[in-house]
Structure 1
């Protein structure tokens, strides 16, 4: 695919890569994983100063009016370092929902704070029974006076531990799997009736299971039109999936570089194992998977800026499925070529493998998106 970046986009790419190089050695990342929040507030402030947190938002609210291509550039570069800061959850997901569905007052109150690095967001969409279906929502929002009362259980809310506000999908009407009747609400993380179980995910990030027990919110907590949130959720899910595809490309490329360096140094019978032809062939296969993934990620980023929603959605399903396959292959081969060393926490390759396997599952795994693509095709 002929895909050339502009001068400004190349500057952005260089800037993110420099940030990763300066701040995300394997040792530095391991220390961040062990902290209470699981990421660095100083890094987050630095991202704000560099303008990255305002990248996808319109200039009218202090953003830079960036496109999906700029988001792809950032996610791919951050994937190389397994960056832990909540760019995906706060900017792409939470910020995207507010910018897309919010009232003028909600946008003015939240987006500038996100851009300045003063507010973190999380999106609580998944439930224990929902698997990958965004419309499978049993959490309810019942009208009470001039507000609503939320009850339900949201699972695996990434960065729900540290978010200042949580955007919650809840059912205001209809049956549990209806696409109509779903609404979005902006809820403070410390509101009465909300309880969390915080934990570390397998890839070293933070998530929470959140229970809503008669949580009262005002009418101003409603994000967008009541009962009409599903199209907005689907749109932001598509953009998030595209961002995850870009991140997977960066993770795969870094895993290949690490593995290539290892087999050049690791000796067997007095010879670097990288000279064995069978391992050279395996590295070529890994490179081919990464290049295919890169092409599909680039294609999706470009199609997100076009008006053909159905074609874009079909491309996203194809990309997530194919990149999921490639991520699994590259991750497994990287571990195998490292031998037993690859399974230890001391070696970085295991952490790249874990992140690839997590990305493969987020917003629909490989099988799910193959079926989704087949249904649309």
Structure 2
């Protein structure tokens, strides 16, 4: 298999890396991440103008990419700059619409691609424990409408979204794959409540509750009770994106650490000349390449049949969880006390790597899932 990127992907990566380097310096990112909005509308629109959002979607949906390696290229570059704009949920919700939506819903993908509409995935619940099929939010048929009741946790950019993709149970047990239905719920619908908060690694999220929210049939995404497959695929795209983002962040953390080892002196010589630190750094470089290989494997498998795809994605997320935590710890330790200071970018990269492990399933969850999928 040829793992070399196409010329188009190389150009995309070069363009995005250059934009992030020139327009998304750490000071800019830090200011945006701590702002009341949690992202920059201006930069989001500029990303859209560059075609970065469009690269996440297939040509048939109005984009010019959409494959596993397109997603990986974009998010690896975003990870290098710790970009906080709502790329992840745009990808997940957009892929769900592309896969399960009707003609009218798919036509609205253009508003995601041009950056004019912010969307958010409202799937995780306070007691969900990362289990994709664990859905207790309920949707009941009431006359010719649906009544939605429940609560969703850690909804990324929930305060800014105009539409939520909500998973709700219309039949079956709380942890059954069958009986999950997807709805596109307007943020301003009666009965929708949003409580926002700042995330520990920058940006904002929200707790969203649905209290007697009445929805028409045009809010349905796909068939009633058959939303799990669409949700699973869309979240697999999101997991691949997170893993790719982590690889980009690891590369920058590694570069910062190497530079520090070359310049920090002790006993009159750079500390990077000490053999013990060289061994630790060599081990770190090998682990990062292992993480990169896992992401390549997941990107290649995104278009494969379900079991192959899901095992590759879970294997990558497990690897990223383990290696990302190791990179964060080692880079902080090799920097010494200065590595913990908030003013140093290194601390922010370490924090983001640790938090990526907890998004869309942590290391332990994906290891168990990988084993379970192998049993058939």
Question: Is contact 2:338-2:344 (8 Å) kept?
Answer: yes
Question: Is contact 2:55-2:64 (8 Å) kept?
Answer: yes
Offset, 1:47: 1.4
Equivalent of 1:251 in 246, 249, 252: 249
Change (3 A) 1:137 1:100: same
Q: Which residue in the other structure is 1:134 paired with?
A: 132
Q: Which residue in the other structure is 1:145 paired with?
A: 143
Q: TM-score, normalised by structure 1?
A: 0.96
Offset, 1:57: 2.7
The answer to which of 308-317 and 60-69 deviates more is 60-69
The answer to which of 151-160 and 271-280 deviates more is 271-280
Question: Is contact 2:61-2:98 (8 Å) kept?
Answer: no
Alignment of 1:358-377 (within 5 A): 358-377=355-374
Offset, 1:172: 1.0
What is the CA–CA distance in structure 2 between the aligned matches of 1:135 and 1:60, rounded to whole Å? 29
Offset, 1:2: 5.3
Q: Does 2:329 align with 1:341?
A: no
Q: Which residue in the other structure is 2:104 paired with?
A: 105
What is the CA–CA distance in structure 2 between the aligned matches of 1:317 and 1:243, rounded to whole Å? 12
Q: Which residue in the other structure is 1:353 paired with?
A: 350
Q: Does 2:95 align with 1:96?
A: yes
Offset, 1:58: 3.4
Alignment of 1:37-56 (within 5 A): 37-56=37-56
What is the CA–CA distance in structure 1 between the aligned matches of 2:59 and 2:150, rounded to whole Å? 37
Which consecutive residues of structure 2, in runs of 5 or more, have no partner in the other structure?
Answer: none
- Aligned-partner SS, 1:77: helix
Offset, 1:313: 1.4
Q: Which residue in the other structure is 1:188 paired with?
A: 186
Question: Is contact 2:13-2:73 (8 Å) kept?
Answer: yes
Offset, 1:60: 3.9
The answer to which of 19-28 and 55-64 deviates more is 55-64
What is the CA–CA distance in structure 2 between the aligned matches of 1:235 and 1:81, rounded to whole Å? 27
Aligned residues: 374
What is the CA–CA distance in structure 2 between the aligned matches of 1:178 and 1:313, rounded to whole Å? 18
Offset, 1:61: 4.1
Compute the RMSD of aligned alpha carbons.
Answer: 1.3
What is the CA–CA distance in structure 2 between the aligned matches of 1:57 and 1:272, rounded to whole Å? 47
- Aligned-partner SS, 1:17: helix
Q: Does 2:300 align with 1:302?
A: yes
What is the CA–CA distance in structure 2 between the aligned matches of 1:5 and 1:180, rounded to whole Å? 38
Equivalent of 1:238 in 232, 236, 242: 236
- Aligned-partner SS, 1:73: helix
Q: Which residue in the other structure is 2:87 paired with?
A: 87
TM-superposition CA deviations, 1:21-56 (whole Å, max 9, x none)? 012221111111121211111111111111122223
Q: Does 2:208 align with 1:210?
A: yes
What is the CA–CA distance in structure 1 between the aligned matches of 2:254 and 2:94, rounded to whole Å? 33
What is the CA–CA distance in structure 2 between the aligned matches of 1:332 and 1:349, rounded to whole Å? 11
- Aligned-partner SS, 2:357: helix
Q: Which residue in the other structure is 1:69 paired with?
A: 69
What is the CA–CA distance in structure 1 between the aligned matches of 2:114 and 2:314, rounded to whole Å? 33
What is the CA–CA distance in structure 2 between the aligned matches of 1:61 and 1:296, rounded to whole Å? 28
Alignment of 1:147-296 (within 5 A): 147-296=145-294
Offset, 1:65: 4.0
- Aligned-partner SS, 2:147: strand
Q: TM-score, normalised by structure 2?
A: 0.96
Which consecutive residues of structure 1, in runs of 5 or more, have no partner in the other structure?
Answer: none
TM-superposition CA deviations, 1:218-242 (whole Å, max 9, x none)? 1111111011101111111111111
The answer to which of 340-349 and 220-229 deviates more is 340-349
Offset, 1:143: 1.3
